[in-house]
Amino acid sequence: DAMVIQNPRYQVTQFGKPVTLSCSQTLNHNVMYWYQQKSSQAPKLLFHYYDKDFNNEADTPDNFQSRRPNTSFCFLDIRSPGLGDAAMYLCATSRGRTTQYFGPGTRLLVL
Amino acid sequence: GENVEQHPSTLSVQEGDSAVIKCTYSDSASNYFPWYKQELGKRPQLIIDIRSNVGEKKDQRIAVTLNKTAKHFSLHITETQPEDSAVYFCAASLNNDMRFGAGTRLTVKP
């Protein structure tokens, strides 16, 4: 009965090699979020989709992009990963402006 | 933008004691205040939340209080158990813009 699913759970990429992380949900929530969480720190919002409307945080690097082809799926694209992009990436969903439910996360390692 | 401060950063209590974690926020327009528990290597999980039109909410051993005038809110855990050990994050949200506090690492000693 997984509700917010993230694949893969662990991703290893090379410095500068594009990588895509995926998130899907079975909750039919209209809002999907991407957070970056580094060790011992709070999750940091990168961007979110409210329905089809993309909302980027002002301090999210241009290196990070997102796509939402339909209600259920959302992707995080990192165009040229640097060593500083190694982190846990968390996807979350909500129905409107309510509680956010998190997926299990994808841990990204950049070599 | 919203800024959330959380204290203490670490908290150690004896099993059975109470634990209190405090947060302040800067944007008086924020209207939703969730608390998340995150165990090592796992996702943040919502444990309790409160909206700006409510002053206090309780769910078994967990309670949250909100003081809108002072812009602070607190998490209270009573009769702590070793399984309560985790990192706890407060957050303040307006619309879909949620900002987290830096987290409190709670350790409950048996």
Write the pLDDT tens digit of every residue in A39-78.
Answer: 889 999 999 999 999 999 889 999 999 999 999 999 999 9
Report strand pairing: A10-13 vs A106-110: parallel
Contact A99 B34 (CB under 8 A): yes
Buried b (16+ CB within 10 A) or exposed e, A75-99: bbebeebeeebbbbbbbbbbeebeb
- Distance of CA B3 to CAs A66, A100, B100, Å? 25, 19, 8
- Tell me whether the omega of the peptide bond preceding residue A8 falls within 30 degrees of 0, making it cis: yes
Q: Which residue of B has its CA nearest to A104?
A: B43
pLDDT at A83: 95
- DSSP string across A29-95: -SEEEEEEE-TTS--EEEEEEETTEEEE-TTS-TTEEEE-SSSSEEEEEESS--GGG-EEEEEEEES
The shortest C-alpha distance from A91 to chain B (Å) reads 10
The shortest C-alpha distance from A98 to chain B (Å) reads 8
Using an 8 Å CB-CB cutoff, list chain A residues near B36: 102
Percentage of chain A with pLDDT > 90? Answer: 89
pLDDT at B110: 92
pLDDT at A71: 94
pLDDT at A26: 94
Nearest to A42 among B49, B97, B101 (CB): B101
pLDDT at residue A34 is higher than 80: yes
pLDDT at residue A1 is higher than 80: no
Using CA atoms, how far apart are residues A90 and B42, in angstroms rounded to an integer?
10
Using CA atoms, how far apart are residues B51 and B18, in angstroms rounded to an integer?
24
Average pLDDT over residues A1-30: 93
Nearest to A42 among B45, B46, B100 (CB): B100
Nearest to A42 among B42, B97, B102 (CB): B102
pLDDT at B96: 77
pLDDT at B94: 87
Which residues of chain B are modeled with pLDDT < 50?
Answer: none
pLDDT at residue A22 is higher than 60: yes
Q: Report pLDDT digits (tens) over B23-52.
A: 999 999 999 999 999 999 899 999 999 998
pLDDT at B61: 97
